Amino acid sequence: MLKTLKPRRFSHLGRLQFSSIPEISEQFDSLHTGEKKKFSFIISKVSEILSNPRMQWKTSRELESLSSKLRPRHVAKLVEIHENTEVVLQFFYWVSKRHFYKHNMSCYVSMLNRLVFDKKFAPADHVRILMIKFCRNEEEMKWVIEYLSELSRKGLGFSLYSFNTLLIQLGKFGLVEEAKSAYQEIMSNGIEPSLLTFNTMINILCKKGRVQEAMLIMSHIYQRELSPDVFTYTSLVLGHCRNKDLDAAFMVFDRMVQDGIDPNAATYTTLINGLCTEGRVDEALGMLEEMIVKGIEPTVYTYTVPVSSLCAVGREKEAVDLVVSMRKRGCEPNVQTYTALISGLSQSGHLEVAIGLYHNMLRKGLLPTMITFNVLINELCGARKVGNAFRIFRWMEAHGYVPNTITCNALIHGLCLIGDIERAMVLLTEMLKVGPAPTVITYNTLINGYLQRGFLDNAVRLLDLMKNNGCKPDEWTYAELVSGFCKRGKLDSASALFQEMIKHGLSPNQVNYTALIDGLSKEGKVDDALALLKRMEESGCSPGIETYNAIINGLSKQNRLLEAERLCNKIAESGLLPNVITYSTLIDGLCRNGGTHLAFKIFHDMQRRNCTPNLYTYSSLIYGLCLEGQADSAESLLREMEKKGLTPDYVTYTSLIDGFVALSRLDHAFLLLRQMVDKGCEPNYRTYGVLLKGLQQECQLISGEVAIQHETVYSSTGSKKDVSFELLCTLLDRMSEIGCEPNTGTYCTLVLGLSREGKTAEADQLIKHMREKGFSPTSAVNCSLIVSYCKNLKMDAAMEIFDSLILQGFRPPLSIYQSLICALCRKSRLKEVEVLFENMLGKQWNSDEIVWTILIDGLLKERESELCMKLLHVMESKSCTISFQTYVILARELSKLDG
């Protein structure tokens, strides 16, 4: 706790504790020798000037010169030691008007102590009012009340003005109980309250919705034979609106009109805001028109809430029109109006327009608030426009705004969305170093980012780091982890995390249970999923339709369709309605198990029940028809879904292409490829693989016919790899023939697929072919090639691509550094490892992530503990901050090797 001044002359006033006012003696003692001399010199010179009877100190050039050096601690000391109270009071007022200077609380304490000691209560009352108005927060306000109570016991009684000032300030900080105490003191001290006193108290209570207590105060108005005014009634309207009792609010409104009190803009604004809060936007707009008709000019605050409310219900055009209307009336939008419009337009998909408004704001000289920045950054990140979000973020920081947790969480979410978990972790480092402190949302977003990229170990390490940093995981943390591990087939780990959640006192919710049930079902462990469903129900957690859908999916894949049907009946009994996913899951199971005719029965049944089929429904049926050799019927179904406004995706087209390839109708399959590309649907490696299969079959058929004609057995003279590249070239030629020219995306998709399959020779040939055609591989393709080369220990080729990427300014992810370091290590090129590692440290990374990815998952898995420790020392020598938890993980992994 901080202390008030402890003046020698005024010790009889007692000592009060305050957290931001150190004692002057303590302030002085904390200065070093040079500062003490400077402090004493300023005090001595100013005191000398103030004491000189022959000098008009207010016009003194020497004092004017010294005044720029004056700080509150100097003023507080001068007030305490100077002999002439009148002079020191005038100096107190004079210095407060200097543009470079502002009193702090210790100055007011010194001045009040001095005046009360000298029993100069009139000027003391004025200084007291200034002190009350100076309060900047609730803590200061509470202390001032205590301090002033002490002074009142020393003879400084309150005037009506100072009491009213106190009430207004208490209302500003929402200190209702303190305001009630002050009000009671007014009523019991014989001070005659004014209408302002009553109105202030009524307003304080009504802001908190305490209307009954406010009505009691209103009775005091009548007792004093005063009349309520527009402020009184407007406060009561506000109180009822805060309680969401609009009927009562309108009764007060009608009463004030009957009493001859004309409502003003604040009255109408309060009602309009109340209507908007309750979703009654049209009525609010009606009141806005009414006040205009009555000649009451709306303020910017009157317009802002309706603008926000219109945006919230998807009526953005009306919101924009309303802003245009207010400007025509000469009412310029303020920051809040712009922010409301920006928020509404962003969330309704009009992000470009919202950004335009943001720039318009800046051009008009309106400074955005943190809410404005957060809305834009959040929406830009959600739209994966992370570069634009960071540009706004940098502008914000450059202009003195301090990002809060919402800002940082939005940026981390955006980075994770685009797969840049490394930059997201760098932002976490900044948050841990300088703030704001990460929240459970921050960690959950990062954990999900790791899980999406398949970095399960790092996700768990981050969970440990989260706990170690004092942030408690919640149900959503575990839901993400359980779901992520299930998707990667790590059911034992998922179950262990589920049990850990329970052990930590968290009750699994519907999402947690469903995540594990879904994972078990997808892995074919349907009986375990059913057992967990029973446990879920017994624990009092009701399964949702998603829970049942997960099990139905598992049962359908195992052709346990009768059980799936029984579960559907159970859904109906529990009061849930089967949704499109329920039906589509059953349809998919039937189609994959030769029951397409039964699948169509369910398809027609869901339509009869007004459950509209989605893309997945049609894709499953198309797959089933193609599987049964009915590709023409499948294509007819494709046309039907297009007529219903559903756009086929690559899964739908690939199934259909595969169906025609199976029927040896390769020309028609390529025709479908052309249609697919024309409609903006990019083929994937699986699509091209199906067509390559068809070309392979066609090649074999032609070769077989030639062999029969020559009565010889066909034998390929080329290697399998040569044939594969020839087929790739044939695929590209056939695409050109049908007017579907291969582009960068085509080549990159093929190269990435070949790299993942370890076919580096074919990938190399295709890259060469690609360059000859004037196309350049993307960074993703180059990274994939580096990994492929590293697996095959072709380190010169890998390093050549890596160096090229660095020269282009590309920042490879840590996984690329891991692949290169481990492969170089296997080739005993240790000097290159050290150089590469040191170069990597020269860029911005999260130090914990470096240890996790490079040292633990890289070198220690290669059993290179000595090199691992060497590189750890390099990190430490470069002051890379590594968390204690990461050291613990590293030590644990090292001990496993020693064992």
What average pLDDT does the segment 557-586 reach? 85
Q: Which whole number is the average pLDDT over 368-379?
A: 91
Please state, in angstroms and rounded to a whole number, the distance separating the CA atoms of residues 504 and 514.
Answer: 19
Ranges of each domain in the chain: 39-47+61-191, 647-702+724-739, 813-898
Measure the CA–CA gap between 775 and 762, rounded to whole angstroms: 17
- Complete DSSP assignment for 194-238: -HHHHHHHHHHHHHTT-HHHHHHHHHHHHHTT----HHHHHHHHH
Please write the tens of the pLDDT for every residue from 756-768. 888 888 999 999 9
Instruction: Please choose, from the candidates 589, 568, 567, 578, the residue with its C-alpha nearest in 3D space to the C-alpha of residue 613.
Output: 578
Q: What is the DSSP letter of 684?
A: -
- DSSP character string of 14-61: ---B-TT---HHHHHHTS-HHHHHHHHHHHHHHHHHHH-TTS-GGG-H
How much is the pLDDT for 593? 85
Task: Note the pLDDT of residue 34.
Answer: 61
What is d(CA 624, CA 597) in angstroms, rounded to the nearest whole number? Answer: 9
Q: Is the peptide bond before 473 cis (omega within 30 degrees of 0)?
A: no
pLDDT averaged over every residue in the chain: 88
The C-alpha atoms of residue 467 and residue 452 are separated, in whole angstroms, by 21
What pLDDT is attached to residue 566? 86
In this structure, of 111-115, 150-154, 670-674, the range with the lowest mean pLDDT score is: 150-154
Contacts of residue 702, defined as CB under 8 A and 6 or more positions apart, other chains included, come to none
Q: How far apart (Å, rounded) are the C-alpha atoms in residues 260 and 432?
A: 60
Does residue 418 surpass a pLDDT of 90? yes
* End-to-end Cα spacing for the chain: 53
Using CA atoms, how far apart are residues 666 and 680, in angstroms rounded to an integer?
A: 21
Task: Give pLDDT tens digits for 798-849.
Answer: 999 999 999 998 999 999 999 999 999 999 999 999 999 999 999 999 999 9
DSSP codes of every residue in 112-131: HHHHHHTT-HHHHHHHHHHH
- In this predicted structure, the answer to whether residue 666 has a pLDDT above a threshold of 90 is yes
pLDDT for res 825 = 94
Residue with tokens 């459950």: 611
Distances (CA, A) of 747 to 511, 728, 743, 777: 41, 10, 7, 8
Q: Is the pTM of this model over 0.85?
A: no
Are residues 337 and 300 in contact, defined by beta-carbon separation less than 8 angstroms?
yes
The candidate with the shortest Cα–Cα distance to 380, out of 368, 393, 369, is 393
Residue ranges of alpha helices (H) inside 224-299 are 230-242, 246-258, 265-277, 281-293
> Is the confidence at residue 622, as pLDDT, over 80?
yes
pLDDT in tens, 502-535: 998 888 889 889 999 999 998 889 999 999 999 9
| Tokens 């797959």 sit on residue | 623
What single DSSP character describes residue 576?
Answer: P
Under the banding of pLDDT at 50, 70 and 90, the label for residue 875 is very high
Closest to 519 measured CA to CA, from 561, 564, 481:
481
Closest to 199 measured CA to CA, from 171, 173, 178: 171
CA 776 – CA 178 distance, rounded (Å): 72
Contact 266, 238 (CB under 8 A): no
